[in-house]
């Protein structure tokens, strides 16, 4: 059985926000439940689910690509109570090397609406940790996701990809400046004090907004955020009053229902003298789209920000070219490692066999020369082991290289025959071997098959 890697994605390039919000994992508990459910599906050996405001992605180690494609789509439909046929057209798949390359691009911010945004790295890391805790990952994804995260850190520290910060929240602020002509005298209402809300307030503050009010379901969290940026906090019950004074409303909660409805906003708009600028950066959406039809209301959702985020990205594009080269290298290195997994049991068995020979030889030497001192025994043991290690170095290197060739199966067969490893079970000295043995049975079969 051959292990394969599959990535299923529903993102801003292929699915409108009304589809993405139907397939959104809104919190960590939901993510953990999803990964636990998915790992019980047929053909799914390992999985990590990533869900952000712009994408829901399922990464899976599978035994059969076509079977796994179906079961991933079925899982998404069942988990969210959707009709399979209604969501299937919006799901795109990447296989094997392309799936690995896609994950690395996503983690480095090269596949984001805002090129090079750094928030996605933390989201990938969080999803990976949740998957590990849920028992959804094994040797393949434990290595792959660590590689992707390490590469993204390198990308952000050694290139300009993360400079001149641009994110969805930043884009919302830039759009507000463009429509209203500046923020200094505008009264801004931010609904939601989570990570996206905090980034929004930070961008507002750094762009000159002086009158910021934060409303959140938990008042203490709103107060804590407001104090960081000289803003004001108001309890959720006073949301309607806050709306009457606001020139700008930016909403980013985790609610599954509309926070702002047309009946709530319509009377406020009638009393206002100036325009009301509203940006909904939540998925699912916080603001009823019908509000956009009211006079003097400028309503934008997360998809409308695409034009804004395409500006001032030339330096990031140059960095992206460098990072793309690193991603190609990282993908190649990962698959070189994958290819060596087939020889791990053989190498472990060979090492165990020669060490047993060395032990038996030492026992024979001690029997024949019983007067050896403890130091002399250690010296002889050390040097015999050194001879073994030097003799094994070239065969082990050669078999690792041969494992990546088209005729790898034949090479492994002859390696086993030459060293008479047919009936030897490797011991517990090799770390990777122990990890493989600790995994579920079907994972082990996929890796070693």
Active-site residue list: 53
Strands (E), 217-348: 232-235, 248-251, 276-280, 297-301
- Dist CA 46 CA 53 (whole Å): 24
- Dist CA 433 CA 187 (whole Å): 61
Helix segments in 181-305, DSSP class H: 195-206, 219-228, 239-245, 262-271
Helices (H) and strands (E) in the chain, counts: 19, 10
Q: How many CB atoms lie within 10 A of CB 128?
A: 23
Q: Are 430 and 348 in contact (CB under 8 A)?
A: yes
Quick one: which H or E segment has residue 187?
A: strand 187-191
- Which two tokens mark 117? 């945004």
- Dist CA 355 CA 429 (whole Å): 11
Quick one: which H or E segment has residue 273?
A: none
- Dist CA 37 CA 168 (whole Å): 31
- Which two tokens mark 422? 């047919």
Contacts of residue 81, Cβ cutoff 8 Å, sequence gap at least 6: none
Residue 283: closest CA among 53, 113, 112: 53
The CA–CA distances, whole Å, from 164 to 1, 196, 316 equal 48, 18, 9
Place of tokens 């395409």: 310
Q: Are 169 and 200 in contact (CB under 8 A)?
A: yes
């Amino acid at each position: 059985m051959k292990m394969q890697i599959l990535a299923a994605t529903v993102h801003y390039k292929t699915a409108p926000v009304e589809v993405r919000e139907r397939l959104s994992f809104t919190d960590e508990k939901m993510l953990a439940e999803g990964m636990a459910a998915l790992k019980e599906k047929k053909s799914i050996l390992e999985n990590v689910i990533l869900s952000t405001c712009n994408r829901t992605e399922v990464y899976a180690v599978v035994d059969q690509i076509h079977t796994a494609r179906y079961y991933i789509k079925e899982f998404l439909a069942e988990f969210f109570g959707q009709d399979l046929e209604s969501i299937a057209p919006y799901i795109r798949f990447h296989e094997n090397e392309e799936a690995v390359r896609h994950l690395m691009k996503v983690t480095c911010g090269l596949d984001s609406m805002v090129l090079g945004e750094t928030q996605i790295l933390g989201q990938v890391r969080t999803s990976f940790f949740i998957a590990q805790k849920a028992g959804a990952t094994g040797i393949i994804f434990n290595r792959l996701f660590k590689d992707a995260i390490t590469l993204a850190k390198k990308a952000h520290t050694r290139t300009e990809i993360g400079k001149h910060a641009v994110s969805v929240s930043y884009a919302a602020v830039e759009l507000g400046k463009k429509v209203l002509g500046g923020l200094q005298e505008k009264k801004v209402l931010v609904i939601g004090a989570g990570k996206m809300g905090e980034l929004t307030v930070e961008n507002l503050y750094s762009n000159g907004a002086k009158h910021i009010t934060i409303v959140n379901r938990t008042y203490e969290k709103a107060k804590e955020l407001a104090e960081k940026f000289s803003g004001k906090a108001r309890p959720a019950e006073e949301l309607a009053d806050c709306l009457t004074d606001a020139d700008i409303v930016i909403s980013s909660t985790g609610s599954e229902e509309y926070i702002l409805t047309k009946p709530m906003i319509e009377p406020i708009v009638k009393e206002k003298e100036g325009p009301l600028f509203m940006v909904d950066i939540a998925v699912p959406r916080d603001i009823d789209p019908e509000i956009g039809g009211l006079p003097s209301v400028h309503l934008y959702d997360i998809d409308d920000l695409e034009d804004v985020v395409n500006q001032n990205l030339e330096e990031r594009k140059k960095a992206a070219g460098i990072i793309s080269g690193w991603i190609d290298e990282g993908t190649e290195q990962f698959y070189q490692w994958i290819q060596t997994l087939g020889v791990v049991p053989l190498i472990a068995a060979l090492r165990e066999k020669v060490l047993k020979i060395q032990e038996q030889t030492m026992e024979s030497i001690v029997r024949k020369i019983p007067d050896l001192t403890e130091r002399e025994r250690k010296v002889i043991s050390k040097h015999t082991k050194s001879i073994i290690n030097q003799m094994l170095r070239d065969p082990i290197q050669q078999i690792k290289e041969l494992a990546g060739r088209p005729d790898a199966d034949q090479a492994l067969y002859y390696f086993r025959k030459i060293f008479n490893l047919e009936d030897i079970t490797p011991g517990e000295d090799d770390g990777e071997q122990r990890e493989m043995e600790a995994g579920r049975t079907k994972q082990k079969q996929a890796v070693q098959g």
